[in-house]
Amino acid sequence: MSDQFNSRQERRKAQQGKSRSNTHSKPKKKKKAGLFKKILLSILIIGVIGLIAGGVTFAVMVADSPSLDEAKLKTPYSSTIYDKNGKEIAEIGSEKRTYVSIKDIPDSVKNAFLATEDARFYDHHGVDPIRIGGALLANFEGGFGSEGGSTITQQVVKNSLLSHEKTLKRKVQEVWLSFQLERKYSKDEILEMYLNRIYFSPQAYGVGKAAEQFYGVTDLNDLTVEQAATLAGMPQSPNNYNPIKHPEKAEKRRNVVLSLMNKHGFISDAEYNKAKKVAVTKGLVSPKEYAKTTSNKYSAFIEQAVAEVKEKANVTPGTDGLKIYTTIDTDAQDYVDELMDGDSIQYTEKMQAGLTLLDTKTGEIRALGGGRDRKAGDFNYAVDTKRQPGSTIKPILDYGPVIENKKWSTYEQIKDEAYTYSTGDPINNYDRSYRGWISMREALVDSRNIPALKAFQAAGKDNIVKFAGNLGLNINSDDLVEAYAIGGFGNGVSPLQMAGAYSAFGNNGYYNEPHTVTAVEFNDGTKLDLTPESKAAMSDYTAFMITDMLKSAVQRGTGTAAQVPGVTVAGKTGTTNFTEDDIRKHGINRNGARDSWFVGYTPQYTAAVWTGKEGFNSLSQSEQQVAKLLFKKLIAKVDNGSGSFEKPDSVVEATVLKGSNPPVLASSNTPSDKKVTEYFVKGTQPTTVSKKYEEKENADKPSGLSAEYDEASKSIKLSWSYSGDGDVSFKVKQSVDGGGYSEIQNSSAKEAVIPNAKEGSVYRFQVTAVTEDGESDPASVTLKVNAADEDESKTDDEKKDDDEKKQDADDDQDKDKQNNGNSNQPNDQNPGNSDQNNQNPGNSDQNNGRKDDDADDQDNDQNKDKDKDKNKNPDQGANTGDQQTNSNGQSTGTN
């Protein structure tokens, strides 16, 4: 057998050969194992190289990191503020803090800030990857701002030692120094640094000073959980979450903080539910106490500048040793302060005012009037107030959008008539009257509410929301009801917002966000430009046409009291009223107003002025004029009258027949009082010329006119013939006993019956043919009504000889008058004279067959004249707003 061997040696050799054979049968497995080892080795090599490269890069980036300077970490630096010319005007920060040791800060306060800013503070070593990931998730679940990504340690490093430029190198240095800070200082020491650096307001840096300013407590142990949560929620946006200025926003933010404290186990469910039910205003100091802080000369402006720097640069102006370059014009600001608190304006008790002055071309704020008798930290009526804008909103929500999207001209005809909102609620004009068809210009000049609503409806909600948003007024589409068209806002607007929006009209349609700061320089010398980017908000034709109409509003409309000699001013008034319920409940004068506005601009400056009173106190007729007076005095002081509003190529000027609808061009024969020059978007202007006042051939004259008296019916019958072609009507006029002519019939009939004729009287009749080409010469006949045997009826031809004889007699009488001075000649001695005086074949006012495009605007002119008489002085109460209340019960503005 093949498996039998003669010796053990043969068996061993056979087994060795078999083993070699088995080994050679699996060469592929050996190759796979070798490839895997090579890939793994390559990855390891690349990783090592990457680590070395990363380490070298990291080392280079951190090589010039600043040292952990304890003075910078624990001693904040004040910041310097400069005016528009680079002159220092204020220093802020260093004196507005109360340093509190960590041992004097209760757990409730520490936990509120830890839950909000860094819940794993005591677990990480300066940088927390888990925190970064958790922050991203929290922002998706709880809304943006629920949590931040940087640890408290990183914030201390960033705010104390580094610039705020967003570069990889700065971030690497931040991480490196955070690790170093944690090695050198304890957690409590780092938390103490943080809590004493936080910016809360221009008058409060650090939690100790904030507790004193907002709650009047010097011992932090006296703060409740909900109060601690309110303070912990403020640093993210100190101005917006200020519980005294913005309690609603502050309460929402506080409840977010409470929920985070509950989530991280700092408070129980019961404590959370109890705390969030407490009003955010509970325990706050009064506004007067809040205002008792260190005062700056330009406090309203400086506070706004500090808020801007905090928001845009994400720095702490009172601790970071910044140089803040602002837009303030100190001369203008000094004059605004004088207007607010000096004797040039006679304010009444309780009356307040807010004012924003900015550069029309750049949006740079030159001055702010924060209020009368204002102290540092007080409510800022120029920035913080949110009041209904009244009719100042019409260019923004009504006429601006409809020009932009529908290309309406300044002549666009709108019918001012009895009208309702889409809800069926009535809308009225301020004078509760209607002017019929009027142009868009006249509607804005006279501040008519009904045409404004019609423009609003024609523009469309989506277009309005977009247009307003481009001008800095962000309106939720769901909130936009038709009452907004005349200023019936839910949340209201500020003078700063209105000034920003109007400035775009004066800047060829470009919007610049109103701003007080142009740049910030950090203590390491780096500089950050904060100037907003200019944006095209509308077409240049929209901006120009709104501007031109608003110029008319100042020249001859409701804003005449705001005129400034030698300066081109465009602007709009606005007043708002109380609701009917408020009037009845609080005994408010119906002629009083809740708010009075004037917003206007020149080629150089834009100013928005609000005046009003808190609570249910109304402005009298005379008080409603103060806003215009403030504007006038301010512009007269700061504006030198240079510059103009230039018409862009996208706009064409056209002289049209007044009242024509659709518009037609006025002809060379159109009387000057029947022409008006308006602006049209290029390509939409009329091209048809009116034929109304062109010379026309007379129509054929009626023939065979006769008059017969019927004694039985006591009536006169006229009849005549007509040989002309086409549609024709006949106007019949009569004169009795030499009196004036009056029209008694206008129809296509070729006869007329005059009842109740008076015997003994002389009747004269004229019959005129009227066609589309014009009117004929009149045919005439005279009839003396006598008894049947004495009846006389003669046509003009039959009476020709008699007329010549009577003319001779008239001549003799004229000679007698010259000799005797007798001018009392009876009318019936010259019966032919009335015919001559009343023959006016070209009088188209009697043309009932005229076309729409040649329609006269006589009725509109009469109504307009009445309104002008009523509004010769619009500042003496003629433009008082009409009470409007929308379906939501909101009081709305009207003029």
Model confidence at 636: pLDDT above 50: yes
Q: What is the pLDDT of residue 768?
A: 95
For 139, counting Cβ atoms within 10 Å of its Cβ (0-12 exposed, 13-18 middle, 19+ buried), the class is middle
Q: What is the pLDDT of residue 317?
A: 80
Across the range 428-451, mean pLDDT stands at 97
Instruction: From 407, 570, 397, select the one nearest 470 (Cα to Cα).
Output: 397
- Give how far Cα 345 sits from Cα of 338, 597, 632, 875, Å: 9, 16, 12, 16
Predicted model pTM: 0.62
User: Comparing 51-60, 84-93, 248-257, 427-436, which segment has the lowest mean pLDDT?
Assistant: 51-60
> pLDDT for 276-333, tens place per residue?
999 999 999 987 777 665 456 899 999 999 999 988 988 878 767 899 999 999 999 9
Model confidence at 793: pLDDT above 90: no
Q: What is the pLDDT of residue 888?
A: 40
- Give how far Cα 656 sits from Cα of 409, 435, 560, 864, Å: 12, 20, 26, 18
The contacts of residue 95 (CB under 8 Å, 6+ apart) are 78, 294
Q: If pLDDT is split at 50, 70 and 90, which confidence band does 895 have?
A: low
Round to whole Å and give the CA distance between 537 and 323: 32
The contacts of residue 282 (CB under 8 Å, 6+ apart) are 226
- Residue with the bigger pLDDT between 762 and 129: it is 762
State which amino acid sits at residue 121. F
Q: If pLDDT is split at 50, 70 and 90, which confidence band does 23 have?
A: very low
Q: What is the pLDDT of residue 893?
A: 47
CA atoms within 13 A on the CB side of 451: 28
Across the range 457-470, mean pLDDT stands at 98
Model confidence at 690: pLDDT above 50: yes
User: Comparing 36-40, 747-751, 771-775, 821-825, which segment has the lowest mean pLDDT?
Assistant: 821-825
391 as an active site residue: the answer is yes
Q: What is the pLDDT of residue 832?
A: 35
Model confidence at 37: pLDDT above 60: yes
> pLDDT for 498-547, tens place per residue?
999 999 999 999 999 999 999 999 877 889 999 999 999 999 999 999 99
- Residue with the bigger pLDDT between 131 and 335: it is 335
Round to whole Å and give the CA distance between 638 and 685: 39
Q: What is the pLDDT of residue 154?
A: 86
Q: What is the pLDDT of residue 376?
A: 78
Which one from 79, 108, 117, 690 is the annotated catalytic residue? 117
Model confidence at 61: pLDDT above 50: yes
Residues 449, 427: contact at Cβ < 8 Å?
yes
Share of the chain above pLDDT 70, in %: 76
Model confidence at 249: pLDDT above 70: yes
Q: What are phi and psi of 444, to 5 degrees?
A: -75, -40
Identify any residues that bridge with 92 across adjacent strands, giving them in sequence order.
Answer: 79
Q: What is the pLDDT of residue 833?
A: 36
User: Comparing 362-371, 404-413, 884-893, which segment has the lowest mean pLDDT?
Assistant: 884-893
Q: If pLDDT is split at 50, 70 and 90, which confidence band does 861 have?
A: very low
Across the range 193-206, mean pLDDT stands at 86
Model confidence at 175: pLDDT above 60: yes
CA atoms within 13 A on the CB side of 412: 23
Q: If pLDDT is split at 50, 70 and 90, which confidence band does 764 have?
A: very high
Q: What is the pLDDT of residue 694?
A: 75
Q: If pLDDT is split at 50, 70 and 90, which confidence band does 16 have?
A: low
Q: If pLDDT is split at 50, 70 and 90, which confidence band does 847 have?
A: very low
Residues 745, 752: contact at Cβ < 8 Å?
yes
Which one from 79, 108, 391, 618 is the annotated catalytic residue? 391
Round to whole Å and give the CA distance between 33 and 26: 12
Share of the chain above pLDDT 90, in %: 60
Task: Name the architecture of domain 703-810+827-845.
Answer: Sandwich (2.60)
Q: Select the highest-mean-pLDDT range: 370-374, 466-470, 807-811.
A: 466-470
Round to whole Å and give the CA distance between 843 and 846: 6
Q: If pLDDT is split at 50, 70 and 90, which confidence band does 562 have?
A: very high
Q: What is the pLDDT of residue 162?
A: 66
Q: What is the pLDDT of residue 693?
A: 83
Q: If pLDDT is split at 50, 70 and 90, which confidence band does 424 have?
A: very high
Structure tokens at 658: 């007044």
Helix (H, G, I), strand (E, B) or coil at 107: helix
Q: What is the pLDDT of residue 31?
A: 54
User: Comparing 222-226, 229-233, 863-867, which segment has the lowest mean pLDDT?
Assistant: 863-867
Round to whole Å and give the CA distance between 878 and 693: 37
Q: What is the pLDDT of residue 45?
A: 72
Q: What angle do CA 284, 301, 563 make, to 5 degrees?
A: 120
Q: What is the pLDDT of residue 296?
A: 62
Own/partner long-range contacts of 578-585 (Cβ < 8 Å, ≥24 apart): 578/616, 578/618, 578/883, 578/891, 579/885, 579/889, 579/890, 579/891, 580/883, 580/885, 581/889, 582/616, 582/891, 583/883
Helix (H, G, I), strand (E, B) or coil at 46: helix
Across the range 614-621, mean pLDDT stands at 94
Q: What is the pLDDT of residue 860?
A: 38
Across the range 162-180, mean pLDDT stands at 71
Angle between helices 449-459 and 461-470 (to 10 degrees): 100
Q: What is the pLDDT of residue 790?
A: 44
Model confidence at 29: pLDDT above 90: no
Model confidence at 864: pLDDT above 50: no
Q: Domain 96-293: which CATH class?
A: mainly alpha
Average pLDDT, the chain: 83
Q: Select the highest-mean-pLDDT range: 62-66, 523-527, 677-681.
A: 677-681
End-to-end CA distance of the chain: 125
> pLDDT for 638-669, tens place per residue?
999 999 999 999 999 999 999 999 999 999 98
Q: If pLDDT is split at 50, 70 and 90, which confidence band does 76 have?
A: low
Residues 882, 434: contact at Cβ < 8 Å?
no
Q: If pLDDT is split at 50, 70 and 90, which confidence band does 169 have?
A: low
The domain segmentation of the chain, as residue ranges, is 96-293, 651-694+853-867, 703-810+827-845
Across the range 30-53, mean pLDDT stands at 68
Angle between helices 107-117 and 152-161 (to 10 degrees): 80
User: Comparing 207-211, 667-671, 698-702, which segment has the lowest mean pLDDT?
Assistant: 698-702
Instruction: From 496, 92, 529, select the one nearest 298 (Cα to Cα).
Output: 92
117 as an active site residue: the answer is yes
Model confidence at 803: pLDDT above 80: no
